[in-house]
Structure 1
């Protein structure tokens, strides 16, 4: 999500590429992060070192470094005699993530609204417009989730706050797992689309107070939906 510089004190270290490995360790890490956050690798899935080494054509030592980076992000746990297993999110952790996101994403929305030039939000306003509404009505949420990813990327770019970006990067993988589950709830994707469209209109008017307030409301609303349906989602 972040395009900001790495901050070693905040962000878990990424494994370094090793001469002789065909694949980049950073690429392997990013691919595994996406698989976990998109539920291609759901909670409880086992991750085999030998299979990863074969798939990505990298050494077992490099695989272990990648798994160590995933473990530091809280995405997997390594269990003696079982190997690496994708972590399950506990309800307490889920709601703590909502609390942190409300503060940090609200701040980034405010700073991005202030910093971005005129017209910076026109493309995203179009993204969250009629084509997305029609796609959601037809049952597809992928366009909405892709739009959220793009919105986060642009907001982080214009917010220009390295520490906020790094903190959000640490929790983003888990946040995306939660977002996918909440978005699948009936009516949630369209409600979220409308709220984000309204927020982007405020950003285009440079109304930072209203934009930040709406972003906080969006995250609180998602939390309320999750609390209401937690037995079906968590």
Structure 2
């Protein structure tokens, strides 16, 4: 996908976020207004308007632009279609970690991994170097790396930090009834309900959805250190969960329901309930992780 296409699709999603705050029938601003609001060029703004008009979200006749209907989740482009190259590489690496059964002590070759996730070897090296800071991987000679696994003390410390950061982030999210993360939370509700309705074979898709949910919560705090921690912790937690398959389907379905309780409380504006459900979920996540190490 070209950089221009990613820029356009990201701008479409940003425009949909804005239109979600408007009422059908509202007159919309000019191309220049849209370009300024989204920090894009007028050429890209025209592309966004043309796309939205083609999707039936807006009517565009000359200088007149009108919102025809409220945006829906199906109007949005998926995150993998809009993310920068580095983020897409990280997503592929995370997916590889989630889908590959690696036992502690397993070796990873940079060249082989680059071929499997279809990114340059230099990018793989950067990803592994970043992941090494977690303390779960070490560098060996000749482009080889080793997974170390982790101890119970490591897991307890990691859960302590996760709960501290994510509770603070959720407080930021629930404190603002018009928080910019709410459209993503609505999308999370749709995706969780859809996954819960599918059969057990679909439960393998949950770890990636779980990582996305927790990342959205962390990003709501608009704190770069929270974001960095969230990304690393998702790799560690879900790698370990995937390696231990015991009761995987049951615990994934339970986690989906816990997520939905948090999500729906957020969308209903009930901050106390959201925090209570989230505390319950973090407690379950800690117990599940520690039990999986037995």
TM-score under structure 2 normalisation?
Answer: 0.56
Match of 1:156 in 2: 218
Once the two structures are TM-superposed, the CA of residue 197 in structure 1 deviates from its matched residue by 1.0
Which structure 2 residue ranges, 5 or more long, are not aligned? 1-84
Once the two structures are TM-superposed, the CA of residue 199 in structure 1 deviates from its matched residue by 0.8
Q: Deviations over 1:169-226 (max 9, x none)?
A: 3333112223444784352122212111111111112222321232121121122234
The secondary structure found in structure 1 opposite 2:202 is coil
The secondary structure found in structure 2 opposite 1:140 is helix
Q: Deviations over 1:15-43 (max 9, x none)?
A: xxxxxxxxx88866664454235435443
Q: 1:42 to 1:25 in 2, by over 3 A?
A: farther
Counterparts of 1:25 and 1:114 in 2: how far apart (Å)? Answer: 31
Match of 1:172 in 2: 234
2:140 aligned with 1:140, yes or no? no
2:151 aligned with 1:90, yes or no? yes
Counterparts of 2:211 and 2:159 in 1: how far apart (Å)? Answer: 17
Counterparts of 1:213 and 1:173 in 2: how far apart (Å)? Answer: 25
Q: Deviations over 1:103-143 (max 9, x none)?
A: 211221221222363763332222222x32232x5343133
Correspondence for 1:68 among 126, 129, 133:
129
Match of 2:256 in 1: 193
Match of 2:11 in 1: none
Larger relative contact order, structure 1 or 2 (CA cutoff 8 Å, min sep 6): 1
Check whether the contact 1:114–1:206 (CA below 8 A) recurs between aligned residues. no
Q: Deviations over 1:24-81 (max 9, x none)?
A: 888666644542354354432212345457776857x876555433323334212468
Correspondence for 2:167 among 87, 101, 106:
106
The secondary structure found in structure 1 opposite 2:197 is helix
Alignment of 1:199-210 (within 5 A): 199-210=262-273
Give aligned pairs, total.
205
The secondary structure found in structure 2 opposite 1:141 is helix
TM-score under structure 1 normalisation?
Answer: 0.68
